[in-house]
Amino acid sequence: MKLVLASAEGEAHFGLIDGLLPDLDVVRARTPEETLAAVADADVLYGMPSAAVVAAAPHLRWIQSSAAGVEFIAKVPTIVEGDVVVTNTRGAHGPSIAEHVFGLLLAMTRELPACLDQQRRRYWSRQTLYRTAREIRGLTMGLVGFGAISRAIAHRATAFDLTLAAVDAQAVDGQPYLDEVWPSSRLPELLATSDVVVVAAPLTTETRGMIGADEIAAMKANGYLIVVSRGGIVDEAALAAALGRGHLAGAALDVTEVEPLPEDSPLWDAPRLILTPHLAGASDEKERRCVEILRDNLLRFAAGEPLLNVVDKKLGY
């Protein structure tokens, strides 16, 4: 069995698969050219391959995505329509992204960007900030998408005494955090009743542009919007415009539709907006968990057992 490691995700922990199986041939491909050459006789690929890579891999049987999001498969119809199994690293990113969410939320409610700005200007004043700083205890957090990442967020939200609500495209159990996860049709209700809205849904044809100008306008004027899954779900121009006219107490984006964010994006100058460069999932612990998922699935694949985190290729998650 030949495995091509075509992603740097978890590279520091690739040693976890050394000697895992006696007949496992592991090839590290660091460039697109190396990947194309290596996949000609590959059975398994770790990464997010392009259409050209898939076309060059006639024996490919399984793709282990190096990320939780697998929107790349929508660009490769042969994956969607073919027999290649796709799995992802669902669950690996939950702890780091959940911590990032609360870092962003607390930064906004405790006025940390304004404090840092004052620090840079060597200016000491608390008159305005003393009036605008808020507690998050008792707020309602609405989660858009209730998968592994939102469950990690919900777990931490309980320690902050937040009330939780969630919507999901699938019928999922919210226990132990929620009595009920609402269907996506109740998104307007979630937006209108939540003090904090966290977007943690995958990017699919159904979620692209799901939160536009009307949905942002429906949110509480003093609410917060945090996006940590994928860009393209929230209309960025509409968000910048809403912030510009004073709607929302704050917003934070870890992901944008185009990355890196273009220099002419209105988001750069939007007031009360925090931008982080797709950093939420970053941690060495997460890198190890990604490789651990690959390792466990390699053992399952070799034994003919069901794989973990199998993706529904039609749904895209």
Per-residue pLDDT at 229: 97
Of the residues 135, 180, 206, 259, only one is catalytic, namely 259
Task: Determine contact, residues 195/225, Cβ cutoff 8 Å.
Answer: no
Of the residues 151, 230, 247, 289, only one is catalytic, namely 230
Per-residue pLDDT at 54: 97
Per-residue pLDDT at 296: 98
Does domain 2-91+284-303 match CATH 3.40.50.720? yes
Q: Give dist(CA 270, CA 107) in Å, integer.
A: 16
Per-residue pLDDT at 263: 96
pLDDT mean across residues, the chain: 97
Task: Determine contact, residues 312/90, Cβ cutoff 8 Å.
Answer: no
Question: CA 276 → CA 10, 97, 260, 262, distances in Å?
Answer: 21, 12, 11, 14
137 tagged catalytic: no
pLDDT confidence of 242, banded at 50, 70, 90?
A: very high
Per-residue pLDDT at 164: 98
The correct CATH number of 94-275 out of 3.40.50.720, 3.30.365.10, 3.30.930.10, 3.40.50.920 is 3.40.50.720
Per-residue pLDDT at 2: 98
**pLDDT, mean of residues 277-298:** 98
Q: Give dist(CA 235, CA 227) in Å, integer.
A: 11
Sheet of 182-183, strand order: 182-183, 163-168, 140-144, 196-199, 224-227, 250-253, 273-275
**pLDDT, mean of residues 108-134:** 96
278 tagged catalytic: yes
For 124, the 3-state DSSP assignment is coil
Question: Which pLDDT tens digit goes with each residue over 86-101?
Answer: 999 999 999 999 999 9
Of the residues 61, 278, 288, 300, only one is catalytic, namely 278
**pLDDT, mean of residues 199-203:** 97
pLDDT confidence of 251, banded at 50, 70, 90?
A: very high
Question: Which pLDDT tens digit goes with each residue over 140-149?
Answer: 999 999 999 9
Q: Give dist(CA 33, CA 21) in Å, integer.
A: 27
Q: What is the DSSP letter of 278?
A: S
Question: Which pLDDT tens digit goes with each residue over 47-72?
Answer: 999 999 999 999 999 999 999 999 99
Per-residue pLDDT at 126: 94
**pLDDT, mean of residues 32-52:** 97
**pTM for this predicted structure:** 0.95
Question: Which pLDDT tens digit goes with each residue over 101-114?
Answer: 999 999 999 999 99
Q: What is the DSSP letter of 6?
A: -
Characterize the bridge pairing of strands 163-168 and 85-87.
unpaired
Q: Give dist(CA 73, CA 236) in Å, integer.
A: 24
34 tagged catalytic: no
Q: Report percent pLDDT > 90 for the chain.
A: 100
Q: Give dist(CA 73, CA 77) in Å, integer.
A: 7
Q: In the chain, where does the domain assigned CATH 3.40.50.720 lie?
A: 2-91+284-303, 94-275
Per-residue pLDDT at 87: 98
**pLDDT, mean of residues 13-42:** 97
Per-residue pLDDT at 29: 98
Per-residue pLDDT at 63: 98
